[in-house]
Amino acid sequence: MHYTTYGDTNLRVSVAGLGAGGFSRLGLGTGGSQADAVAVVHAALDRGINLIDTAAAYGTEEVVGKAIGGLDRSQLVLATKAGFGRGPDRVPPETVIASLDRSLRLLGTDYIDIFQIHAVSPERYDWVHGELVPALLREKAKGKFRHLGITETPPFDPGHAMLQRAIPDGCWESVMVAFHMLHQNARAGVFPATTAAGVGTMLMFVVRGIFAQPERLSATLAELRLPELDFLVHPGGAHDMVDAAYRFARYETGVDVVLFGTGSVDHVHRNVESLLKPPLPEEDVARLRAVYGHVVGVGLDVPTRPKPA
């Protein structure tokens, strides 16, 4: 595994992170058992992954807690999130603090490394910053978490408007952002600001539905009147489209951690292998940037299952 320092935090993180949400939810979202989910976490840890991202909304904190039970806590970087209600009514900060306390209990730990506010839209940001952050910083001072983070809502905020407002506020030590081969606008819109401010970056949506489903990818490209991405797969290039997606994202300047969500031990191994391979050939990356770099908001599937990301 390769490791890096996460923004200006002193966390040493694996460049590959295990996402316990998305459609798979460690397999719990696709018919897997708790034992299967534990096996996915163990496979990731065996490959040297030390960062696991979960959330109160995923229903996977308990199984992550089981999987890491008895391990040396100091070797793990645990990230989780709290939501704050979807409707127009704001939940009181006490509800978010209760979520943090529940996460600590379910994960079986006395501190979270990265505690994130989950899926903040531009419209809700002022309330999050003005009301929630001061209350959470008091919990941080008690030692319940080490670093404060925020995650965006890619299907509803493909231009990263929320993060563009949040990063200059200086209270966020971590952001989670969507970036992939057909949604590259964080290169100009987010990464220069996170790099300048020393904010750690985790990527989500690097594969999601679109790059794991060849027929869907073809249909999307046809709709956009863009050529197929097959040129990426060749000897000396990517092994397949998923391999291309991970390697493209991994070497983007300003990216610390690429998350992947899966319910498959086999996919854990394949994804780690992709993320440890060298960058895609320079001419392939240049073509991806030149021909597809203008595309925004493709493949950011709105979750359709219960308890999604």
Ligand X SMILES: NC(=O)c1ccc[n+]([C@@H]2O[C@H](COP(=O)([O-])OP(=O)(O)OC[C@H]3O[C@@H](n4cnc5c(N)ncnc54)[C@H](OP(=O)(O)O)[C@@H]3O)[C@@H](O)[C@H]2O)c1
Using rule CB under 6 A, residue 263 touches ligand X: yes
Looking at the Cβ atoms of 7 and 149, the one nearer to ligand X is: 149
Looking at the Cβ atoms of 104 and 204, the one nearer to ligand X is: 204
Is 3 catalytic? The answer is: no
Question: Which residues, in sequence order, are CB contacts of 185 under 8 Å at separation 6+?
Answer: 158, 159, 160, 296
Using rule CB under 6 A, residue 151 touches ligand X: yes
Q: Which amino acid is at 47?
A: R
For residues 234 and 179, is the Cβ–Cβ distance under 8 A? no
**Closest alpha carbon to 303 in 19, 12, 18, 24:** 24
Using rule CB under 6 A, residue 204 touches ligand X: yes
Sole binder of ligand X in the list 9, 11, 19, 78 (CB under 6 A): 19
Looking at the Cβ atoms of 193 and 259, the one nearer to ligand X is: 259
Looking at the Cβ atoms of 20 and 45, the one nearer to ligand X is: 20
CA gap 205, 223 in Å, rounded: 20
Residue by residue, DSSP assigns 35-81 as HHHHHHHHHHHHTT--EEE--GGGT-HHHHHHHHTTS-GGG-EEEEE
Q: CB 159 → ligand X: shortest distance, Å?
A: 15
Question: Which residues, in sequence order, are CB contacts of 60 under 8 Å at separation 6+?
Answer: 20, 21, 25, 26, 28, 37, 54
Using rule CB under 6 A, residue 6 touches ligand X: no
Looking at the DSSP bridge assignments, the partners of residue 79 are 53, 114
**Closest alpha carbon to 55 in 167, 176, 198, 139:** 176
Interacting positions 268-297 with ligand X (CB under 6 A):
270-271
Looking at the Cβ atoms of 151 and 201, the one nearer to ligand X is: 151
CA gap 204, 201 in Å, rounded: 10
CA gap 193, 197 in Å, rounded: 6
Using rule CB under 6 A, residue 212 touches ligand X: yes
Q: CB 125 → ligand X: shortest distance, Å?
A: 14
Using rule CB under 6 A, residue 15 touches ligand X: no
For residues 151 and 88, is the Cβ–Cβ distance under 8 A? no
Active-site choice (3, 6, 58, 251): 58
Site map 219..258 versus ligand X, x via CB under 6 A: -----------------------x----------------
Looking at the Cβ atoms of 221 and 257, the one nearer to ligand X is: 257
Using rule CB under 6 A, residue 200 touches ligand X: no
Number of residues in contact with ligand X under rule CB under 6 A:
30
Using rule CB under 6 A, residue 20 touches ligand X: yes
Sole binder of ligand X in the list 37, 119, 193, 280 (CB under 6 A): 119
Helix ranges (H only) for the chain are 34-46, 61-68, 93-107, 122-127, 133-141, 161-166, 186-189, 191-197, 214-223, 241-250, 265-276, 282-292
Sole binder of ligand X in the list 207, 229, 238, 275 (CB under 6 A): 207
For residues 61 and 80, is the Cβ–Cβ distance under 8 A? yes
Q: CB 231 → ligand X: shortest distance, Å?
A: 20
Q: Which residues bind ligand X (CB under 6 A)?
A: 19-24, 30, 53, 81, 118-119, 151, 176, 204-208, 212, 242, 259-264, 267, 270-271, 309
Residues annotated as part of the active site:
58
